[in-house]
Structure 1
Amino acid sequence: MPGDDETPSLDVPVGMFEDIEDLKVQVASLTALIEGLTGGDDADPGEAASTETEEATGEDTEDEGQYPPLILLLDPPEYDDELRALTEWVEGVLVPGYLAEPSADARWCHLWFEHTVAVARLHAMWLAWQELTDPASCGYLGPSTWHRDHLDPALRELRAPTGPFAGCTKGEHQVAHRLPGIVPSAWNQAEA
């Protein structure tokens, strides 16, 4: 019989292979998450992960360090360490790769780390970059998502004429221009 040893011809769209690879990454990620939550292969279904480590140290190790806090909530030396790592990313990746020459319409301050609002926004953008450029967790769509949802909006806000660098021009740096004064309120008037 002809055709017994022949492989059938299948018309498969090229994009389907990429979709399959994305699904494999997502399944692997979910499998690892489930194993982590259930305590691995030897745990019974529905059984929570062991808390022996937490009991031995007296700390909640699962929540500790799992999600990085807003950088502005950190105290030294944690703030200093996080700012140092953020500076390496901003100066090594963001500035050379994404920031053109500053102008009146697209401002940038070389002393960005002295602008609290800029530090907060850049830190959030950096955290998203770390997660969305990891192929194991985000597949092929992560970088595109990072550009669309994090980089573009953050740069629009940072470099806007009314953004945190509004008073900074070439060769001139101003931070105090963004600090609000005392806002009158019912609390302040009651004391007077």
Structure 2
Amino acid sequence: MPDDPDFEVPVGMFEDLEDVKAQIAALTAQIKALTENGGPDPGEASADDGADAGGETVDEEDLWQYPPFILLLDPPQYDDELRALIEWVEGVLVPGYLAEPSADARWCHLWFEHPVAIARLHACWLAWQELTDPATCGYTGPSVWHRDHLDPCMRELRGSSGPFAGCTKGEHQIGHRLPGVVPSAWRQAED
């Protein structure tokens, strides 16, 4: 039999491997204990999750939750979210980013009557909320928002085939883009 090759392995690598082995063993033991003791199902919070280090429970209302996508809301939450979106669009987006509408860059002053516009602008607004906060995204967030969210959103909305294609200066058309009745994937039909 040939001799085993002589490999030089740095000593630090053995320590790293031992650390990984120890972490895997600890995780395996934790999984085994949870499955044997009838612990919570994956994705469920355990009773201990509501308590902080001091033993106090955290009120669910105090926990920040991601805002829901506007098209998934029902009244009155939908109405409240739409009002807030209108304030942002009319207070920030329109005066700061929209030039005079033209054939190449359309805009409808009744944009909130176009469901596609509501959906795209709401998504853009959610991204703006996150990416203009240096605490969550650092100082490059606004640049990322412009590049990844605002510019594509405006191209789609203001383009010649966008939701405002039938709207001209002073004239609003909503029915030109509405499809026929399509069963919703989000809600079950009521009998």
- Residues 87 and 76 (structure 1), Cα distance of their counterparts in 2 relative to 1, 3 Å cut: same
Q: State the aligned residue count.
A: 134
* TM score, norm. by length of structure 2: 0.64
What displacement does 1:139 show? Answer: 1.0
- Residue 175 of structure 1 is matched in structure 2 by 174
Query: Within 1, Cα distance between the matches of 2:73 and 2:64?
Result: 12
> Partners of 1:78 and 1:65 in 2: how far apart?
17
After superposition, what is the alpha-carbon deviation per residue over 1:112-139, rounded to whole angstroms, capped at 9, x for unaligned? 0000000000000000000000011111
Choose between structure 1 and 2 for higher RCO, CA contacts under 8 A separated by at least 6 residues. Answer: 1
Instruction: Indicate the residue corresponding to 2:142 in structure 1.
Output: 143
Q: 1:86 corresponds to which residue?
A: 85
Q: Is the 8 A contact 2:51 2:58 kept in 1?
A: no
Cα distance in 2, alignment partners of residues 178 and 153 from structure 1: 20
Aligned-pair distance for 1:181?
A: 3.1
Deviation at 1:69, TM superposition (A): 1.5
Q: Aligned with 1:141: secondary structure?
A: helix
What do residues 57-91 of structure 1 show as CA deviations (whole Å, max 9, x unaligned)? xxxx38x8611111011111101110111001000
1:87 and 1:171 mapped to 2: Cα distance? 19
- The structural deviation recorded for 1:168 is 0.2
Structure 1 unpaired stretches of 5+ = 1-36, 44-49, 55-60, 184-192
1:28 corresponds to: none
Matches within 5 A, 1:1-192: 42=53, 52-53=57-58, 61=60, 66-181=65-180
Question: Take 1:165 and 1:67, find their aligned partners in 2: how far apart are those partners?
Answer: 29
Residue type of the partner of 1:92? G
What TM-score do you get using the length of structure 1 for normalisation? 0.63
Q: Which consecutive unaligned segments of at least 5 residues does structure 2 have? A: 1-48, 183-191
Structure 1 pair 70–51 and aligned structure 2 pair: CA distance change class (3 A): farther
